Amino acid sequence: MEDKPKSKINLNRVDMPRQDPLVRAHNYNEVALGYSDDMARQESTRCIQCPKRPCVAGCPVNVDIPEFIKAVRDNNMPEAVKILKSKNALPAICGRVCPQETQCEQVCSLGKKGAPIAIGRLERYVADWDLGHKESASPTQVPPPTGKKVAIIGSGPAGLTCAADLAKLGHKVTMFEALHTAGGVLMYGIPEFRLPKKVVQAEVDYVKSLGVDVQLDSVMGKLATVDELLTTGYDAVFLGTGAGLPMFMDIPGENLNGVYSANEYLTRVNLMKAYLFPEYDTPIKIGKRVAVIGGGNVAMDSARCALRLGADKVYIVYRRSRAEMPARHEEAENAEEEGIIFKLLTNPKQIIGDDKGWVKGMECYEMELGEPDSSGRRRPVTKQGSEFIMDVDVVVVALGTTPNPLIPATTKGLEITKRGTVVADEQSGKTVKDRVWAGGDVVTGAATVISAMGAGKRAAASIHAFLTGQ
Amino acid sequence: MFKIVAKEKLTPVIDCLKVEAPALSRKARAGQFVIIRVDEVGERIPLTLADWDAKEGTITLVAMQVGTSTKKLGALKAGDNLQNLVGPLGLPSDIEKFGTVICVGGGVGIAPIYPIARALREAGNKVISIIGARNKDLLFWEDRMKKVSDELIVTTDDGSYARKGLVTEPLKEKLDAGKIDRVIAIGPAVMMKFCSLTTKPYNVPTIVSLNSIMVDGTGMCGCCRISVGGVTKFACVDGPDFDGHQVDWNIAFDRQKVYLKEEKDSLDKWESCQCGKS
């Protein structure tokens, strides 16, 4: 019965305002502007509060979604914040970058008849309300210290979540970060216009407010090994080191000047603020015509950064078709609206350089789709004799990342896969090494922010059980 | 923040800074580097360790003022702080008993060759050191190098001090004079290339330390990639030491020039800002 929406329910979700594509293509301000109070209230009334709650199971950290939406509907914002934050330490981030369309929203009961409730937008609304009402918020109650110490390596989504949960249980947590700013991929990878850095830092500050000690500029494996941490007072270690090593294609010309890994390109722009050069000291080469190779979110982010840096033409070069593209539909659409040109079924053969060692073009093959491969997507096949040259002067390679080998190489007793990932139990995050847990991209390979957070959360529960002898 | 406990000008354009970094100083090994950021808007630049003192909890960095970051660094005084300092990064140099080794240090490369020469000597090698600079005003640490070498040869390009000529000339003489088991050369890329070319006919293993442009210094960005024996390597995690005979020097030279224009723009801006200050 609950599946049958009453006639007064609007089957369309409330749109979220966004910056005009032609304007936003030239600034770094956030693209999506968020709901107003009225919009949020209106959207929240669409939730039918169905007893099956499929959305909760669809969320990797099991946020009590119908409850927080009900609190929004009742205009009880402190309650909405409390419900949201009890399961999710980083809601302002998740509300922006989670792929809700393949998680909570995909299974929403409303989706059978119309548009699913805009859970991500409401989550962002509640989190942003919270960030704007800090002074009225009551400080999170932290229980008395347990006397146990945990080291978290990496301050990305997995580490932040694990740290927050353990601190809330009274454990003393130290989080080590290699870079000069905490946040991991949230800081160096995802651009300002999609995830403002002040939002990330506000969430990091929240985690610190729980008593977590953040040690920046600390490359673990070099400054101290995992074993040294375990013998110098830490009772447990969580590895949340992510997947930070860029993959290249191994084609001729890849070491030419003007060829970037997406990691380098995005790190220069986001972490080092090269878009503000020379106010900031870190430079970046602003191409006139930029080709970004790959079809994921990182490729979209790189392309949209290139456009904002001032490139005339920016291409996404992807070897399959639009249907197989791994990027979120919304991000590909945003990119296209802003003027990014999609060169689909196109695969680079080599990058061509001038006599000074600079990129001056890229030779590509046309591709066609064959039979499905092991990933279930139709395999791209090279059309022989189809080579053509793209006139580009900067190439960004966004073909994925693998885990950094620094910790595996310096830690005895971990089990490492051929792909370089650390083997850990899916439920608990426990590795085969005594007192060491792992979660996020270092275990799964490059995945999503929320799945890393889910892994950090499960590992925190398992570490807590271990520390308290349960 | 990392406190500068002492600062010395080794030459008018080369600065030596001793920085408080207890944990780092305990882990440092010859050949490794650190990444620093001078201030909140600074870039991340790699500097190879010139020395460290685990008891004192300090590390020593030497840098030549060539661009905005190194000029900013040169403007700091004892008591000031570095915004960020991270390390030790990269793989340590191979230190074992090879026999007779030649350590070549060119220009500011004299600083990082010093701890390597010292470690090689401590490992029981006969150490012949050759240090050179464009002129007398760019030369430093002759005394330090003398202490850790069995024999020290000093050159200046213009003959303003010691022997006139390039470091490759005494290097060749030593290779002709007797069995050399290993050469380590650190300095400008062009010097390292010509040292490698000099030793190649003698088939003496030759190690160079590449000072590529880097961002994170932990293998994340791939900015420092170079080609060694036809295979792409990251200087930050696979190096910075590499077989000089296998390095593709053309790619190494080109990649150092990526930001020449931007570096100049940045420096012009910084220098014009400084004028109004003093």
The token pair that represents B4 in the structure block: 């500068």
Sequence-ordered alpha helix ranges (H) in chain B: 22-27, 68-75, 110-122, 142-147, 168-177, 189-199, 235-238, 249-256, 260-275
Domain B93-209 has CATH 3.40.50.80: yes
Give the A window 264-283 contacts with B, CB below 8 Å: 264, 267-268, 272-273, 277-283
Q: CB–CB of B27 and A222 under 8 A?
A: yes
Where, residue-wise, is CATH 3.40.50.80 in chain B?
Answer: 93-209
- CA–CA distance, B71 with A189 (Å, rounded to integer): 29
What integer pLDDT is reported at residue B250 of this predicted model?
92
Number of other residues whose CB lies within 10 A of the CB of residue A122: 29
**How many C-beta atoms lie closer than 10 Å to residue A135's C-beta?**
5
Res B100: pLDDT: 97
User: Which pLDDT does position A56 carry in this prediction?
Assistant: 95
The answer to whether B186 and B93 are in contact (CB under 8 A) is no
Do B44 and A180 lie within an 8 Å CB cutoff? yes
Tokens of A113: 């008849």
Residue environment code for B1-10, b if the CB has 16+ CB neighbours within 10 A, otherwise e: ebebeebeeb
Contact call for B265 and A250, based on CB within 8 A:
no
The shortest CB-CB distance from A257 to any of B37, B83, B255 is to: B255
| Interchain pair A223, B24: CB under 8 A | yes
**Superfamily classification of domain B2-89:** Translation factors (2.40.30.10)
- ipTM exceeding cut-off 0.90 for this assembly: yes
The DSSP letter of residue A269 is: I
Residue type at B227 in one-letter notation: S
Nearest CA to CA, how far is B143 from chain A (Å)? 31
Q: What is the pLDDT of residue B273?
A: 80
For A217, the closest of B42, B85, B253 (CB atoms) is B85
Best mutation target, B34, B40, B52, B86, to test chain A (most A CBs within 10 A): B86
Contact at CB, A281 and B227, closer than 8 angstroms:
no
Dist CA A371 CA A378 (whole Å): 5
Q: Is A254 on the interface with B (CB under 8 A)?
A: yes
Amino acid symbol at A349: K
Whether residue A90 has pLDDT greater than 60: yes
For A410, the closest chain B residue by CA position comes to B91
Query: According to CATH, where is 2.40.30.10 located in chain B?
Result: 2-89
Instruction: List the end-to-end C-alpha distance of chain B, in Å, as a whole number.
Output: 25
A306-356 pLDDT, tens digit each: 999 999 999 999 999 999 999 999 899 999 999 999 999 999 999 999 999
Q: Give the residue among B70, B235, B35, B77 at the shortest CA–CA distance from A216.
A: B35
Instruction: Flag whether pLDDT at A378 surpasses 80.
Output: yes
pLDDT of residue A1: 43
Residue type, B123: A
**pLDDT computed for residue A5 by the predictor:** 47
d(Cα B106, Cα B202) in Å, to the nearest integer? 21
Percentage of chain A lying above the pLDDT 70 cut: 97
Query: Would you tell me how many other CB atoms lie within 10 Å of the CB of residue B135?
Result: 13
Any residues with CB less than 8 A from the CB of B97 and at least 6 apart, and which?
Answer: B123, B124, B125
Nearest one of A402, A287, A240 to B219, comparing CA atoms: A402
Query: What pLDDT was estimated at residue B277?
Result: 56
Angstrom distance (rounded) from CA A75 to CA B105: 71
Q: Any chain A CB within 8 A of the CB of B246? A: no
pLDDT tens for each residue of A91-131: 999 999 888 988 999 999 999 889 999 999 999 999 999 98
CB contact under 8 A, B88 and A222: yes
Size of interface A-B (CB pairs under 8 A): 118
pLDDT number for residue A385: 94
Secondary structure letter of residue A115 according to DSSP: P
Strands A289-293 and A394-397: parallel
pLDDT band at A139 (very low <50, low <70, confident <90, very high): low
Q: What is the DSSP letter of A260?
A: E
Model confidence at A171: pLDDT above 70:
yes
Residues in chain B with pLDDT < 50? 278
The pLDDT, as a whole number, for residue A343 is: 97
Q: Helix axis angle, B260-275 relative to B68-75, nearest 10°? A: 30
pLDDT tens-digit series, residues A28-71? 999 999 999 999 999 999 999 999 999 999 998 899 999 999 99
| Mean local confidence (pLDDT), A122-148 | 84
A278 vs B251, B257, B265: nearest CB: B265
Phi, psi of A319 (to 5 degrees): -80, -15
Taking the CA of residue A388 as centre, how many other CA atoms within 13 Å lie in the half-sphere pointing to its CB? 10
The reply to whether residue B216 touches residue A406, judged by beta carbons under 8 angstroms, is: no
Average pLDDT, chain A: 93
Q: List the single best residue of B72, B218, B224 to mutate versus A (max A Cβ within 10 A).
A: B218
Give me the pLDDT at residue B278, please. Answer: 47
pLDDT over 60 (residue A429): yes
Across the interface, do A256 and B88 touch by the CB < 8 Å criterion?
no
| Cα distance between residue A15 and residue A59, in whole Å | 22
Q: Is B7 on the interface with A (CB under 8 A)?
A: no
Query: Which is nearest to A174 in space by CA: A198, A202, A143, A148?
Result: A148
Reduced to 3 states (helix: H, G, I; strand: E, B; else coil), residue A422 is: strand
Q: Which pLDDT does position A283 carry in this prediction?
A: 95
Confirm if A360 and A353 have CB atoms less than 8 A apart.
yes
Q: Which two tokens stand for residue B140?
A: 């430093």
pLDDT of residue B212: 93
Among candidates B88, B255, B266 on the partner chain, residue whose Cβ is nearest the Cβ of A278: B266
Average pLDDT over residues A193-215: 94
